[in-house]
Amino acid sequence: MKTKQKKIIKWSVIILVIGTFFTNVCEISSLLCTQFLMDVGQMLAIFSLVSFILSVIIYFLREEIFLSWWKFVKYYLPIAFFLILGFSSGGGGSFSMGNDMEAMVFFTAGLYFIISLVLIAVKSWKLRGK
C-alpha cells in the first residue's frame, strides 16, 4: 500500500509546481494573466501543499490510518472544489459575494488540514493498542 502513498506524495508535488506556476503567471506574461487562472493556481498550490504535508505524515503510519484518511479525502476535496467555485471572484459564482474565493480557499484548506489531523490522531490512538 506504500505505493499509493508514494503516488499521492508525487502528485502533490507535481500539482504544487503547476499551481505555483499558474499563481505566478502574471509575472511571466501579462497576456496570459487572468484572475480566474491565478485563483485556480492558488487553490491547486495550497491544497497540494497541505496534501503533501499530510501524505508525508501518513507515510510513516499504518495502512488502516491511510485508508480512513483516503476515504475522507476523496469526498472532501470535490465538495471543497465546488464550494470554492461557488465563491469565485468576479461575481460569476452562484453565491457571488465579491472576491471571496481566496478566503474560501484558505478556509477550506485549513478545515481540510485540521479535520485530517484530527482523523489521523483519533485513528492512530484507536489502533495503538492493537
What residue spans define the domains of the chain?
A: 2-127
- As a whole number of angstroms, the distance between CA 54 and CA 66 comes to 10
Q: Is 116 exposed, middle or buried (0-12, 13-18, 19+ CB in 10 A)?
A: buried
User: What pLDDT is stored for residue 108 in this prediction?
Assistant: 92
Long-range Cβ contact pairs of 109-112 (< 8 A, separation 24 or more): 109/46, 109/47, 109/50, 109/80, 111/80, 112/47, 112/50, 112/76, 112/77, 112/80
Q: What pTM, to 2 d.p., does this model score?
A: 0.77
User: What pLDDT is stored for residue 47 in this prediction?
Assistant: 87
DSSP class of 100: -
Q: What is the mean pLDDT of each run of 10 residues along the chain (130 residues)?
A: 77 80 68 70 84 87 88 91 75 52 88 95 87
Contact 122, 65 (CB under 8 A): no
User: What pLDDT is stored for residue 118 in this prediction?
Assistant: 96
User: What pLDDT is stored for residue 96 in this prediction?
Assistant: 47
